């Protein structure tokens, strides 16, 4: 059974469990019921909105697909949805969101509507915990499909967690931060997360130089 068929089956099982089913008899699935991959961003977004692949679906107000231009040259990927994002259904919330917006508008000289911003984990985590490997496994095909539809010139990951999951490498983040990395058919540049910069303002100058690198590739 193909991976997307497995995901669709698991989603339906979680949905049944969420409405009270504790057991269902074994059944077979018609292989023509599901496309192996979504055929459009609209279909992909619908899949994300209705996703019940993991326990995060129990604690969220909504799953969050992404925001911005689906033909953007720049795609920015945060690791997970914050409680503030989830409660407001917003993508540039709180102090870190304002800082990210300033990075885009004041340094990169772009409007936030000209970039595409999304999360690797599409739902708020349980009790603000770090998302688990299984939760990432449930979400990663959504993210990779978004990248394939958007085809950005540059992918920017925010912070070490987003970089480590997407690249699937356990490397010292400071050795790769600000570097241009080949990822699939794209150029990826990892930078510090705005939350980190709020706690460590002495590193803002370094991040400013990383932003200039990003701008030179756009």
Give pLDDT tens digits for 135-164.
888 889 999 999 999 999 999 999 999 999
Domain count, the chain: 1
CA 41/CA 50 separation, integer angstroms: 14
- Strand 154-158 to strand 67-68: parallel, antiparallel, or no bridges (unpaired)? unpaired
Write down the pTM of the prediction. 0.81
Does a structural domain hold residue 187? yes
pLDDT of residue 128: 64
Collect contacts of 104-107 with beta carbons under 8 A, ≥24 apart: 104/76, 107/208, 107/211, 107/212, 107/215
Do 116 and 155 contact (CB within 8 A), yes or no? no
Does a structural domain hold residue 123? yes
Does a structural domain hold residue 145? yes
Q: Is the pLDDT score of 4 beyond 80? A: no
CATH number assigned to the domain comprising residue 173: 3.40.470.10
Q: Is the pLDDT score of 25 beyond 70? A: no
Does a structural domain hold residue 84? yes
Work out the burial of residue 192: count CB atoms within 10 Å of its CB; fewer than 13 is exposed, 13-18 middle, 19 or more buried: buried
């Amino acid at each position: 059974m193909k991976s997307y068929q497995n995901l669709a089956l698991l989603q339906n099982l979680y949905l049944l469990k969420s409405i009270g089913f504790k057991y269902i008899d074994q059944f077979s699935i018609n292989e023509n019921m599901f496309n192996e991959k979504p055929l459009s961003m609209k279909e992909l977004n619908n899949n994300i909105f209705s996703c019940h692949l993991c326990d995060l679906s129990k604690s969220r107000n909504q799953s969050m697909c992404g925001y911005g231009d689906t033909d953007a040259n720049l795609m920015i990927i945060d690791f997970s949805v914050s409680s503030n994002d989830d409660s407001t259904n917003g993508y540039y919330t709180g102090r870190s969101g304002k800082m990210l917006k300033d990075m885009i508008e004041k340094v990169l000289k772009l409007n936030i509507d000209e970039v595409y911003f999304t999360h690797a984990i599409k739902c708020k985590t349980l009790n603000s915990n770090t998302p688990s490997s299984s939760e990432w496994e449930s979400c990663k095909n959504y993210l990779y499909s978004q990248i394939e539809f958007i085809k950005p010139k540059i992918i920017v990951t925010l912070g070490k967690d987003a970089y480590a999951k997407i690249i699937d490498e356990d490397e010292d983040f400071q050795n790769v931060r600000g570097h241009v990395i080949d990822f699939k058919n794209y150029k990826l540049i990892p930078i510090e997360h705005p939350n980190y910069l709020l706690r460590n303002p002495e590193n803002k100058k370094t991040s400013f130089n990383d932003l200039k690198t990003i701008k030179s590739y756009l």
